[in-house]
Amino acid sequence: MQPGHVCTQHVNDKGIIVIDDREYPMASEVVATEDVIQRSVQNLARRIAEDYKGLKHLDTCRSLNSMNREMLPHGITSNSCDIRDADSPSTMEAPISEENPLIILSVLKGSYVFTADFVRYLGDYDLPHVVDFIRLASYNDGTESSGTITLLSKPKFKHLNGKHVLILEDVCDSGRTMKFLYDYIGDNYKPKSLKTLVFMNKPSDARKVEFEPEYKCLDAPNKYVIGYGFEINDRYRNLRHVFVPTEKEKVRFMFEL
């Protein structure tokens, strides 16, 4: 999308939603168009960069200037970064930097499109960060949540303790997934701070457990949505806009790939 572009939308004489001259027959309602999405993601990246700049957390990559060279084992050079024993964590803190970046945990699969946009905007605002992924499952085939959270893969990063950690998720609806993940990371990794960011936040009457994310890009209706990472059995993640699907579309792809 070109900077400054404003999407146009209408319903044609066939009753199909049209955005920027493209038809979306799978949609019954527009939730957010690409221009609105990009502005909201960019604005939130700016806010988060401002919130985190200058914050200190555990220094897991101490520079040689802050160490006694005699502590270095044979073979470690001034270009080495991970110079501490992983079993003897430092209590030293340092500001968020390229050596000690903000840790972002992106929840797969739904948030990968959002994450790709968000981290590039975050880079535009000069906040050093790195991204790892965690994968959960809460939906059966189709559009109904099972209500059971399954941890499919853990973060690969090992040194989250004492760090500022930000969890990125596509949506907070029932609150179950967000609370599960918040408790799991907090209990098992002991970060200095742990906050949550969702692309879309559904209203409080969608909650099954009490949970509210610290950051949100957009509010969403209490309806199933598709596009911009949201899917029905992995279809429609690629759509640039977010829609409520038609009732027919909800049951179109009920088989597992």
Which CATH number characterizes residue 53's domain? 3.40.50.2020
**What range defines the domain where residue 169 resides?**
9-60+93-250
pTM of the predicted protein model: 0.86
Residue 73 lies in a domain: no
What span, in angstroms and rounded, lies between the C-alpha atoms of 253 and 14? 23
Residue 221 lies in a domain: yes
Give the list of residues 6+ apart from residue 45 with CB closer than 8 angstroms, or none: 118, 121, 122, 124, 125
Residue 2 lies in a domain: no
Residue 212 lies in a domain: yes
Residue 39 lies in a domain: yes
The closest of 178, 232, 167, 238 to 202, measured between CA atoms, is 178
- The string of pLDDT tens digits covering residues 17-57 is 999 999 999 999 999 999 999 999 999 999 999 999 999 99
Task: Give phi and psi for 225, each to the nearest 5.
Answer: -125, 160
Residue 67 lies in a domain: no
Answer yes or no: 173 catalytic: yes
- The string of pLDDT tens digits covering residues 191-234 is 999 999 999 999 999 999 999 999 999 999 999 999 999 999 99
Residue 4 lies in a domain: no
- The string of pLDDT tens digits covering residues 104-115 is 999 999 999 999
Q: Give the count of domains, the chain.
A: 1
Q: Which of 35, 117, 173, 183 is catalytic?
A: 173
